[in-house]
Amino acid sequence: MTEKTTYSRVMLKISGEALMGDTSFGLHPPTVQRVAREVKSVHDMGVEICMVIGGGNIFRGLQGSAQGMERTTADYMGMLATVMNALAMQSALEELGIHTRVISAITMNEVAEPYIRRRAVRHLEKKRVCIFAAGTGNPYFTTDTAATLRANEMACEAIFKGTKVDGVYDKDPAKHDDATRYDEVSYDEVLQKHLGVMDASAIALARDNDLPIIVFSLDEPGGLRGILAGEGTYTIVH
């Protein structure tokens, strides 16, 4: 059965930690496979899919610099971590029969394609999943900003930001029983109240280009597909 969706092209942003499962570091293959199945279910709807995966399950630049490492070097290490995650996701998606390209912002022709915008658009038109790796290719940025940048370049209709909870709350729902979820919230409110959807540069870039951000739970089986079909709970930042 093919459900209908109004979306034709989306950006899915997930953190590196979302691929960690219950472990405390690195990749948990069954979790990568589970997320790949969620992606497949959306691909089956005919939606063109861009993905950006963080690297926080392996390395974060800020963490390295806090331990005395030079910041830009640490950031490059973080970017390389995202390439490993992207390759793991590519492998899981191709196992499910979905043609996938890893496109790196840092040239490494032996493992991934270089980023050429028009070529990436062509892949999407051919229904290949494009995983944009190595962030923006620049230190001092995050993969949230990379996702927003690529979503704009690829003319995605929205960014789907998968998290552990089903939307944006006024306070941390893991710590406060009375936390309430927003159905919708403006970019400016997110920035003013530090609602922690994405970092400020990513929110500002989305706002300046009218790119909606849909925050949803990646832990909910079928959740992403449901939202694309117009159901489920989430918060839209717009």
Can you say which residues are annotated as belonging to the binding site for UMP?
A: 55, 75, 136-143
How far, in Å, CA of 101 to CA of 95, rounded? Answer: 13
DSSP conformation letters of 143-206? HHHHHHHHHHHTT-SEEEEEESSSS-BSS-TTT-TT--B-SEE-HHHHHHTT--SS-HHHHHHH
Q: For ligand UDP, which residue has the nearest CB?
A: 54
Q: Which of 77, 92, 214, 225 is nearest to 159 (CA)?
A: 214
Binding residues, by number, are: 13-16, 55-56, 60, 75, 136-143, 163, 169, 172
Beta carbon of residue 4, minimum distance to ligand UDP (angstroms, whole number) = 31
Contact 50, 10 (CB under 8 A): yes
Interaction pattern, residues 19-58, with ligand UDP; x per rule: CB under 6 A = -----------------------------------xxx--
> Judged by CB under 6 A, does residue 132 bind ligand UDP?
no
How far, in Å, CA of 54 to CA of 142, rounded? Answer: 8
Amino acid of residue 205: L
Interaction pattern, residues 67-106, with ligand UDP; x per rule: CB under 6 A = --------x--xx-xx------------------------
Beta carbon of residue 56, minimum distance to ligand UDP (angstroms, whole number) = 3
Number of chain positions touching ligand UDP (CB under 6 A): 23
Q: Per the structure block, which two tokens stand in for 125?
A: 């038109």
Question: Angle 143-153/200-208 helices, nearest 10 degrees?
Answer: 10
> Judged by CB under 6 A, does residue 15 bind ligand UDP?
yes
Rank residues 138 and 233 by Cβ distance to ligand UDP and give the closer one.
138
Contact residues: ligand UDP, CB under 6 A:
15-17, 54-56, 60-62, 75, 78-79, 81-82, 135-136, 138-139, 141-144, 146
